[in-house]
Amino acid sequence: MTDENALAQRIEATRNELATHLAVSGAGTQIVLCPSGTDAQLRALCIVRALLGGPLTSIVVASDETGSGTALAITGRHFNTQTASGQTVGKGEPVPGFEKWVSRVDVATLGPGGRKRDVAAIDHEVIDATATAIRDGRKVLLLSMDCSKLGHRYPSEACLRTIAERWPSAVQIVVDACQLRLSRERLARYLASGAIVLITGSKFFTGPPFSGAMIVPPSFSVALSGSVNVPPGLSLYSNRNDWPMQWANMRGQLPNECNIGQWLRWEAALAEMGAYFAVPQEFRAYALDHFGRRCGRLVDDNGFELLEADLHDTGNANDDSEFAARTIFPFVARYGGHPLPLSAAIGLYRALNCDVSGRLPPGASAEEKALAAMPCHIGQPVAIRTQHGAETGALRISADARFVSRSWGRSHEDGCGRLNSGCEHVWQIVRKASLLVHHQISL
């Protein structure tokens, strides 16, 4: 076997291992590896274009709670100045093959104060946008959200069902599950319904940044293993080894290269997944629930404003498994009674990550200095509007797979002790944030 073939086989094995962890192996489900969640969105567009034809409208649900590059990627535009394969491109310019092809409708989901808009209103807007696009002779890529940076899920399942039933050959649902905070049962149900699902190994599963994937349901496997027109610009982003062996025609249109870094990042993410799924389900559920109850209280008790969650409005909460627990805790910091402006929230986020003990006033205690020196890594602020229309940033503390797998010992009792020390770190994060806000320290 040549080195090239050996590498191709090894990457196919990585895809298979990912499928096994997520319990989607067999029955024709295929996985495409991507450098990031945003890259996965661009690839989904390629697939939907191949399946439905065009012209196409991408409807982006929760456009205000997703990745910053989504608006460009999902319309076939370069979403940065450099692609994953190192090509310099014009950010915002069309990727070759998508010129004049795709329009976009954004459905924002946050109201004033970062509160969720009424789900019925969101559903209505999504159905309306779909009907309008189809009336105008367009096909629709519906990017639905499960779940967003703030932990929300939209539109409702009833809405997705209505759309799938009313326009079966004109709409393709693509679920943005890049946070990968959903149960394997739920993932299986999306695939069984014919939805394409986008994931990453870098968020809940704490793999290195830049590890994305697209999961394509069995219903499309045959169509995509035949002759498919790949937009020429996809070669700037992807190579044949990202794509499943079965899709030989598609692979043949892409460079015969390999993104070694992407493959290795996925290997690291798979190690985290393996460790997480090795933990008994009961303990996983207990740990995430425990984190949720402690984290919510700690954020509240330290004077921060916790944003509401309420994501389980789908009528199918019983297939959420351990993800029935809330795992993302967004909160707003205030100074002098007012929410911090977005730039100050970003500065606070940066200061949390660094040793800022030197910025404390001279009379600071040893405990305060130790706290200020501690690196506290949390989610980047998400821009939201306050009740009065000003822009602030919601900081985010999240539970992740490593919190669960590192807590697990040989027994439940053993694990519970370690859960408490994991939660201790959350306490340190909120105390440091509170100290920095008090002394107005940001970077």
Q: Which residues bind ligand PLP (CB under 6 A)?
A: 36-38, 66-67, 148-149, 176, 178-179, 200, 202, 212
Least spacing, CB of residue 194 vs ligand PLP, in Å: 21
Concatenated DSSP letters of 14-61:
HHHHHHHHTT--STT-EEEEESSHHHHHHHHHHHHHHHH-SSEEEEEE
- Token pair for residue 370? 């130790």
In DSSP terms, which residues pair with 57 in a beta bridge?
103, 140
Of residues 117 and 290, the one with the C-beta less far from ligand PLP = 117
Least spacing, CB of residue 380 vs ligand PLP, in Å: 8
- Across 261-387, where does the E strand assignment appear? 305-306, 328-332, 334-335, 338-339, 379-385
Of residues 168 and 209, the one with the C-beta less far from ligand PLP = 209
Least spacing, CB of residue 385 vs ligand PLP, in Å: 19
Of residues 67 and 94, the one with the C-beta less far from ligand PLP = 67
Query: Alpha-carbon distance 104 to 177, whole Å?
Result: 20
Residue nearest to ligand PLP (CB): 37
Of residues 202 and 262, the one with the C-beta less far from ligand PLP = 202
Least spacing, CB of residue 38 vs ligand PLP, in Å: 3
Distances (CA, A) of 251 to 238, 244, 278, 365: 10, 8, 34, 61
Query: Alpha-carbon distance 164 to 171, whole Å?
Result: 7
Least spacing, CB of residue 246 vs ligand PLP, in Å: 25
Query: Alpha-carbon distance 358 to 381, whole Å?
Result: 24
Q: Are 157 and 74 in contact (CB under 8 A)?
A: no
Of residues 174 and 419, the one with the C-beta less far from ligand PLP = 174
Query: Alpha-carbon distance 41 to 104, whole Å?
Result: 13
Nearest to 193 by CA among 217, 169, 221: 217
Least spacing, CB of residue 211 vs ligand PLP, in Å: 8
Nearest to 118 by CA among 152, 162, 160: 152
Query: Alpha-carbon distance 30 to 241, whole Å?
Result: 13
Query: Distance of alpha carbon 391 from its chain centroid, rounded?
Result: 23
For residue 430, give the amino acid letter. Answer: V
Least spacing, CB of residue 352 vs ligand PLP, in Å: 18
